[in-house]
Amino acid sequence: MRVATVFFTLPFSASRSGGCGGSRRPAFRTVSLYALLAGFALFLCVSCGGGGSEPDAETTGPAAGEEPEEAGEPVEDIVARMSVEELVGQMFVISAQSTEMDYYLEKMIRERNIGGVLLFGYNMESEEGVRALTESAQRLSMETEPAVPMFFGVDHEGGEVSSAPWVEPFPAPAEVGAAGDPEAARRNARAIGEQLSRAGINTDFAPVVDTGFGAAIGTRAYSDDPAVVSEMGGAAIRGFREAGVVSSAKHFPNHGPATSDSHEALPVIDHDEQTIQTYDLPPFRAAVDAGVPMVMVGHLVYPAVDPENPASLSETWIRTLREDLGFEGVVVTDDLAMSGANGGRPPAEAAVRAVKAGNDLLIISSPPEEQAEAYNAIVRAVRAGEIDEAGIRASVGRIMEVKREYSLHGADGGF
């Protein structure tokens, strides 16, 4: 996917934001004024010292060696009380039609409990305008039961895929990979994430960890060497995490060798099992090891694994991601509006197939009526027993865990 998607992120507590304050109030007995003042001065030096230097990569972000601080109702309890309609809504990331909150977006939030919003370049005229949109949408989501914050995300990779106009220019991943400096990949990802966050964007569908410069990829890839891609991709994931932004490694299992563009066709990659294991999958293994919260599955057919279905609609491929690579986070489809997924038809059928295959989150940038029909089709399939309700509850549990881990919350309330 090379579109822009926008979601909203703020920290749960100041203790993880790098600022002064926010730590728990310690219990203490009566002390002298001198000791109290000295202790307070020492606290200020320790917690806020260092001027404007970049915080240590090992001590920032939601995975800084400690479990995220729990807040509010346990995730499993929230999921348990959701209706089927609310559960299905959480699995949808839809496109917006305007630069502002409109009737359809409001309806999807109020009536269908959507999980996130995808913004294209035409939705993002300015940082201030995007912030106003994300804040109003998040506020509405948090005022509407079950009061769950939304992903607001973009495709912003650096180089040619740089959708948010207020983010400063960064080199294309191919340039970063050619330089061979993973620290540059980390710094760039962190800076991109921090600048996106200013407008309420909490998710970036990056980095690209495809190996190779094939169709639809080009300079979006770090390298045609899987070892280089693994190193750079893992570093970028750490950078996004430091910025508090959800990242997504893409396009599993590897769009790099494709000779056709999955926006317009269904690529077939005729790699044997050994090539898949040694060339295609290592960067995704590295991404999982780096703690990536999402993996985006591409619209790609690998006949050696599943000759009938693109990976995005393949139970075999998603089982490989879960069991062989050990991924426990959110599996997200590439845009189901793409021809590689739907064969030029409306996305409802592909959406049902994607859920049956094991995807947790569905991106659909089709017209509003097609998004609504895809939602209705999944609800009907669950009601008819074609889709296991326990499976969608597990998917929504994973979605909610990521939202909590990355401290998403609305403009007026916590999660």
Burial (0-12, 13-18, 19+ Cβ within 10 Å), 404: buried
User: CA–CA separation, 284 vs 230, rounded Å?
Assistant: 7
Rg (CA), the chain: 21
Is the four-CA dihedral 377, 395, 411, 96 of positive or negative sign? Answer: negative
CA distances in angstroms from 10 to 234, 303, 365, listed in the order given: 23, 43, 25
According to DSSP, the β-strands at 161-162 and 156-158 are: antiparallel
Gap between the Cα atoms of 365 and 218, Å rounded? 23
For residues 218 and 370, what is the distance between their CA atoms, to the nearest angstrom?
31
Residues 6 or more apart whose Cβ sits within 8 Å of residue 260: 215, 266, 267
Q: Which two tokens mark 398?
A: 């994973």
What is the DSSP annotation of 283-319? HHHHHHHTT-SEEEEPS-B-TTT-SSS-GGG-HHHHH
DSSP-H helix ranges across 64-126? 75-80, 84-90, 103-112
Count of residues for the chain?
415
Catalytic residues: 263, 334
Helix axes 368-383, 103-112, angle to 10 degrees: 10
Q: What is the DSSP letter of 58?
A: G
3-state SS class at 93: strand
Distance CA 55, CA 240 (A): 13
DSSP 364-380: E-S-HHHHHHHHHHHHH
